[in-house]
Amino acid sequence: MKELWKLFMAFFKIGLFTIGGGLAMLPLIQRMVVDDYKWLKEDEMIDCIAICQSLPGVIAINAATFVGYRKNKLAGSIAATLGTIMPSLIIIILAAIFLEAAGSNPYINGAFVSIKAASCGLILFAAVKLGQQVLKTKFAWAIAVIAFIMIAVFEITAVWAIILGALAGLLPYWARLRTGKKLDLEEKAKATSAENKEEKE
């Protein structure tokens, strides 16, 4: 029960203090999960982000569910997911109640402009941090640039970028697999040839 409460409170704090959506939450989730609580390793967190980005739904909620399940199975995933969505649920209800008064207040509108700018900074930080961890080869850079061009220039939906990226990522694996098979066949052929020579001698 203590572990479940820790999961709930950790993601509750993230949901409460992160403004700007799921992508803006990623730096805080990564710091908490990898650095503070060490629930996942850095490589596992990268895999988590990739999986959660590829699935339907909000990436922050998907990440919370993933981390919670890895930590404490189904109960952990429920606790982490509830912790993430509860702050938004409470705040949006309060915002809806006071929306009319808040919408006409210039001070509140000014604050939201700054909040949105800060959110852009958080998302940019998440992109740079993820890029430093993932974009370590020319192949990875090529995939990232092509995906960016597909989405930003040609306005192709991100789903196709993810699918094509996954297929492209399989190409080096298939190439290594075929090369490995050829090497195995060549080694077997050499071994057979050597055995035949020994028998003749």
Q: Over the stretch 28-70, which tens digit does the pLDDT of each residue have?
A: 888 888 888 889 888 888 888 888 877 777 788 888 999 999 8
Q: What dihedral angle (degrees, nearest 10) is formed by the CA atoms of 45, 49, 52, 53?
A: -170
Query: Alpha-carbon torsion 148, 142, 137, 162, what sign?
Result: positive
Cα 51 from Cα 104, distance rounded (Å): 41
**Which band of pLDDT confidence, cut at 50, 70 and 90, is reported for residue 8?**
very high
| pLDDT value, residue 67 | 92
Least confident stretch, 5-14, 16-25, 36-45: 16-25
Q: What one-character DSSP code corresponds to residue 20?
A: S
* pLDDT at res. 99: 65
In this predicted model, what pLDDT tens digit does every residue of 74-94 receive, in sequence order?
999 999 999 989 988 888 888
Query: pTM for this structure?
Result: 0.58
